[in-house]
Amino acid sequence: MESKEMKMNPVTTNPHVDPALVERAREIIGRELEFFSERTPRSAEWLADAEQSMPGGVPMAWMRSLYRHAPVVAVRGRGAEFEDLDGNTYLDFNACDLAMPAGFAPEPIVRAIQNQALLGNHFLLPVPDSVEVCRLLRERFGLPQWQFTLSASGANADALRIARVATGRSTILIFDGKYHGHLDQTLWSRNEQGGMDADLSGLDPASAQGTDMIPYNDPQALRDRLARGDVAAVIMESALTNCGLVKPTPEFVEALNTEVRAAGAVFIVDETHVQFAVHGGGTSFFNIEPDILTGGKGIAGGVPIGVYGMTDRIAAVLWDHRDHDPGLEEVNDAHGLAVGGTLYGNALSLAAARAGLSEIFTPEAGQRVDELGKKLQHGLQEQVDRVGLPWKIDRLGGRIQWRLTPEEPSNGAESFASLVLAIADARKVFMINRGVWDSIATAGPSVSYAMDESGVERYIALAGEFLSELTRGVSGEGRE
């Protein structure tokens, strides 16, 4: 079974990986899956019973196909570790795919949740914490006006709708290697024949007619596409993170900053993952200047939330076209913008976000994560060099990438080509069986804000053991 990311963009053959290493990885997978089954009998039994009430025995079907092994049943977590139903403890380097960068049960967020729950989870009215969360987000990202959803997908959906109203256009421009949530209009990729293929099934085929895609880090392709005059929004990740790791070049950033608005389109930056890799996200790190910035996932420590910030100009569009009850004559537009939701901006999410932003995701903590990321990158590179593999370990702050090529990728296609599914799977289950929960196949280990130096050292040592196993019996010449 394949993960979401692999279904979206199958990994191609990597010329920098000896086929013998791939065969060795498959041997490791077979052996380690047997060991995994021996270590997790209670989870397996629970899943079998749960199949009577949930497809695959899981509350979200993706949980069953995300990895090549079955999921474990989690029962508790604290700091950078969590425990399964069989009593196995795991040091977490996936952070729930960046939904839990604060770690498990962080005291400030637990306290905020408890206090707010005693006062009321939601009122469908503004609450005092909302202004403070806006202030903290403004300090971090620079944009003056903010709104709230329940997920980054929801934030991206609202942002795209605002862009359509702001421009009077409908086409959305995306980049290869992207992921912006489960939105019909962004789950498409350009095929070799020039058409658009759905990344996942169940999408409305008509949504592809309003979507176009070009390579990441290609300023000329951006200029050429904008010149047609029909683009409502350009939406990009400040660094690609769902196909490995691809950082934007200065030339690409300059073109985005100057030419998207000049062409009459709205520039949207999706910070959902990168915001936890470096403080201020890629927007600050790479000097990107969006009209709208979106984010979500771990801001509230696992309590659902999405956010989007806007320039004053875009905020005016939202206010002028706000939804309303029929008969409110002061609102000119008969049909308001299709944004918002009954549980959006709820008091519990905002209380948790305030605690996370003010007490956990601070600039000082971000610097510490960056230092730990640097230590992890250097340690892994030493292990790769030790076994004679021609690979380079990439990094953006606390987010690390196992890149199985010597050259840094510039777009999604090149980054996917630098991955090898069998090796990623073998590493994942090898490390799980030794108490480290590694990242999903198309990502690398992420240093959470709950991680310490001993955890990083443990990952490096275990990765070294894996690389020794992977290269045993494979000649050095064959790996060059």
**Domain presence at residue 477:** no
State whether 40 and 171 are in the same domain.
Answer: no
Domain check: are 178 and 326 in the same one?
A: yes
The CATH code of the domain that includes 56 is: 3.90.1150.10
Let me know whether 351 and 239 are in one domain: yes
Instruction: Specify whether 350 is located in the same domain as 213.
Output: yes
| Pair (203, 269) in one structural domain | yes
Six token digits for residue 155: 């934030």
53 & 123 share domain: no
Q: What is the model's pLDDT at position 65?
A: 84
Check if the beta carbon of residue 104 is closer than 8 Å to that of residue 450.
Answer: yes
Residue 462 forms part of a structural domain: no
Residues 6+ apart with CB under 8 A from 387: 467, 468, 470, 471
CA distance 176 to 237: 11
Let me know if residue 384 belongs to a domain: no
What per-residue confidence (pLDDT) applies to 477? 41
Name the domain boundary from 70, 93, 116: 93
Is residue 21 assigned to a domain?
Answer: no
Tell me how far apart the alpha carbons of residues 81 and 116 are, in angstroms, rounded to a whole number: 26
- 471 close to 34: Cβ distance less than 8 angstroms: no
What is the number of domains present in the chain?
Answer: 2
Q: Is residue 465 part of a domain?
A: no
147 and 49 in a common domain: no
Residue 439 belongs to some domain of the structure: no
- Write down which residue in 43, 65, 93 finishes a domain: 93
Q: Are residues 156 and 211 in the same domain?
A: yes
Among candidate residues 308, 328, 360, the one where a domain is terminated: 360
Distance in angstroms (rounded) separating the CA atoms of residues 290 and 276: 18
Same domain for 149 and 69: no
Residue 320 inside a domain? The answer is yes
Structure tokens belonging to residue 195: 């058409």
Q: What is the pLDDT of residue 9?
A: 47
Q: Give pLDDT, residue 328.
A: 56
Q: Do residues 74 and 116 both lie within one domain? A: no
Do 316 and 173 reside in the same domain of the chain?
Answer: yes
What pLDDT, on the 0 to 100 scale, is given for residue 6?
Answer: 43
Query: Residue 250: its pLDDT value, please?
Result: 98
CATH value at residue 211: 3.40.640.10
* Domain that residue 236 falls in: 107-360
Domain match, 215 and 325 both: yes
The vertex-352 CA angle with 347 and 353, nearest 5°, equals 95
Spatial contact of 357 and 108, defined as CB atoms under 8 Å apart: no
> Is residue 130 in some structural domain?
yes
The stretches in the chain having pLDDT less than 50 are: 1-11, 477-480
